[in-house]
Amino acid sequence: MDFEFPFTELPAVLRGPRVERRRVLDGGSAFWGTIVENGPHAGRLRLDDGRVVDADALACLPPVEPTKIIAVHIAYRSRSVETRNKDKPSDTPTYFTKPPSSLNGHGGRILKPADCRYLNYEGEYAVVIGRTCRNVTPDEAWDFIAGFCPALDMGLQDFRDTDQGSMLRVKGADTLLPIGPGIVRGVNLFEQTLRTYVDGLVVQEARIGEESIWGPHYVIADIARHITLVPGDTILMGTPCHSRSVDAGQVVECEITGLGRLRGTVVAIDPPRAS
């Protein structure tokens, strides 16, 4: 990884105690809450209005409200070897964007249009910006991170050639970014393992601290040289090797130890009316 690791002192966002914030739907309204880590209510969700509820009883909304979503093309060595036949794709990261309308919550439906043959999964972790960030160094970037989320960067690969690298239709369609269940801080991200599951079987696995090419602080500093990042903005940090297509009816999950396990179900829909 292109930074000194292990750290002499962990940045605050990576140090305990663990805090997980979720946004849920209750009675048609959105509420924020915090997962209770200890005591008689451990594992339950304490809403900001004081109520304590079963964390799985309410539908999860995406725990981010970004003005922009930026994704790294390749950030894992295994993915670079698989797609580029080399250990590192370039000297610096390259990026694409997904529209906020692609967001989806934990337990949601991932829509696969009938005119698309390939819908690929990519298990990732997302970095969420906590305060306005511009022109920072990598060391300073840690202080601008609100936390991390499991994410599924789904893609309609039928459009890869016609999008000519922009990934707009490949990655930007509605529902193609399940994220959550919550946003977590207080966990050393680099000691965690990322796993993607399809119908309960592991299809991707990577130790984040061993396989990553660039850390989130490097990527934030790189982007913020010229683009202002504001609270809620979300950066997707790439996927390891073995991204493949899934079909309607299959369940896709991304688990990051210490952060949580995200789930989405692929559902077939009619093709668009405009051919």
- Judge contact between 271 and 114, C-beta under 8 A: yes
Q: pLDDT tens, 232-271?
A: 999 999 999 999 999 999 999 999 999 999 999 999 999 9
pLDDT at 6: 55
DSSP state at residue 219:
H
Mean model confidence pLDDT for the chain: 94
pLDDT at 165: 77
Cα–Cα distance between 182 and 259 in angstroms, integer? 8
- Judge contact between 252 and 152, C-beta under 8 A: yes
DSSP state at residue 77:
H
Cα–Cα distance between 179 and 170 in angstroms, integer? 17
Q: pLDDT tens, 179-194?
A: 999 999 999 999 999 9
128-155: average pLDDT: 98
CA-nearest of 86, 64, 271, 27 to 149 is 64
Q: pLDDT tens, 100-120?
A: 999 999 999 999 999 999 999
CA-nearest of 247, 205, 64, 256 to 145 is 64
The 3 state secondary structure assigned to 24-64 is EEECCEEEEEEECCCCCCCCCEEECCCCEECCCCCEEECCC
154-182: average pLDDT: 92
Cα–Cα distance between 152 and 157 in angstroms, integer? 15
164-168: average pLDDT: 84
**Residue 3 pLDDT more than 70?**
no
Q: pLDDT tens, 60-73?
A: 999 999 999 999 99
- Residue % of the chain over a pLDDT of 90: 87
